[in-house]
Amino acid sequence: MAYNVHDIRKQFPILNQEVHGQPLVYLDNAATAQKPLAVINAISDYYLKYNANVHRGVHTLSQRATDAMESVREEVRVHINATEAAEIIFTRGITDSINTIAYGMSNRIHQGQNVVITAMEHHSNIVPWQMLCERTGAELRHIPMDEHGELVINGLEDIVDHNTAIVAFNHISNTLGTINPVEEILSRSREVGAWTLVDGAQSGPHAQVDVQSWDVDFFTLSSHKMYGPTGLGILYGKRERLEAISPYQGGGEMIATVTLEKSTYAGLPHKFEAGTPHVEGIIGFGAALKFLNEIGIESISAHEQNLLEYATEKCSKIEGFRVIGNAKNKASVLSFVVDGIHSYDLGVLLDQQGIAVRTGQHCTQPIMDAFCIQGTVRASFAMYNTFDEIDSFMSALSRAVTMLR
């Protein structure tokens, strides 16, 4: 079937509003995507019909809630092709997912070993590893980036060596849109026996991932970037890896036995899910996942790529416009500066014309330092954006630049 963006937009009521008297053009999807009616209705349905705590009751509502939540775990397993549902852990977000692994590895890493990240990571995939290295005395290394916003893979053998404990990197850069050479990095990591973690925050809504094909140890997804609720992350881990590390949170549900002297942990996945889970969020994410798959991630990605190419070509006509990140393999993120104009000022004037973009460092200060800039304007595209919206964005940007010069 042909991709019908207008039918898709009907599923997102929030888009049908005005901001400062202008039709809303929402281009901040890399920060969070809007939610379709299917997600909103699934959450409402949960609260209207079977709100209850899960795993802890024999009564009917609790059983319904448990079944609904656990069915999503299986849906995620199928979506990323994990071996078993127990390898799918529900967390509070990707930041929580990465911290879970970084803390859990504390007793497996020692001085003389190293942890490898890249120069284009989100702070959430930098700071937890810095903290781990500070606790253990391990060395933190990074794979460098060139002037195009692509990782410099030449020399990977020297960076990822037999003392590397884990290599953690993003699939797609939230700031540059760069799609990284995942399989090449994973292959080198396997050669030296290093564990691997791929951050799928930006790839979740744009690319299909097969964790078994990749043979990756850990993989993360973010619900709210995939048209689902906020406050929910997905952590995939191979069973043997998850069983080898310790949880960083203790409490109810994650235990097998508790005495006043000692506790033992429950099996997977509950070992890493302390306390009452984000039940409505998980159920909402299940609806988002179904919505995504019904439209088709490949179709969505193709539409977004067309938008990116159109927007890049249009905006390049503005004097002083510079794209930050010109990778050959790139997702639907347009990060840019206009010479002599602060990104914040552009963002304010765009908002006054109904255009929602993100400005600043995007939690990637090392990228900004590498390009010797203070920040960028980032327009990021989603399944519901249109070419007419790109034209509106272009016109608004031209007006804003004219006003600021």
Q: Angle formed by the axes of helices 37-49 and 279-295, to 10°? A: 150
Which residue reads 């930041």 in tokens? 95
- Asked if the structure places residue 35 within a domain, the reply is no
Shared domain check, 240 and 152: yes
Give the model's pLDDT for residue 221: 98
Per-residue pLDDT of the chain (405 residues; tens, 9 = 90+): 689 999 999 999 999 999 999 999 999 999 999 999 999 999 999 999 999 999 978 999 999 999 999 999 999 999 999 999 999 999 999 999 999 999 999 999 999 999 999 999 999 999 999 999 999 999 999 999 999 999 999 999 999 999 999 999 999 999 999 999 999 999 999 999 999 999 999 999 999 999 999 999 999 999 999 999 999 999 999 999 999 999 999 999 999 999 999 999 999 999 999 999 999 999 999 999 999 999 999 999 999 999 999 999 999 999 999 999 999 999 999 999 999 999 999 999 999 999 999 999 999 999 999 999 999 999 999 999 999 999 999 999 999 999 998
**Dist CA 49 CA 239 (whole Å):** 35
**Dist CA 250 CA 271 (whole Å):** 9
23: domain CATH number is 3.90.1150.10
**Dist CA 261 CA 254 (whole Å):** 17
Shared domain check, 257 and 339: no
pTM above 0.95, yes or no: yes
Which amino acids are annotated catalytic?
A: 363
104: domain CATH number is 3.40.640.10
Among 240, 261, 293, where does a domain finish? 293
Shared domain check, 220 and 101: yes
Token couple for 111: 């001085």
| Domain containing residue 112 | 40-293
The HSE-up count of residue 380 (CA atoms within 13 Å, CB side) is 27
Shared domain check, 278 and 348: no
Opening angle at CA 289, ends 239 and 19, nearest 5:
130
| Beta strands 333-338; 321-323: pairing state | antiparallel
What is each CA distance from 232 to 30, 40, 158, 322, in whole angstroms? 16, 15, 36, 35
Domain total in the chain: 2
Shared domain check, 304 and 289: no
Reported as type and span, the H/E element at residue 168 is strand 164-170
Among 260, 293, 326, where does a domain finish? 293
Give the model's pLDDT for residue 1: 63
Neighbours of 243 (CB within 10 A): 12
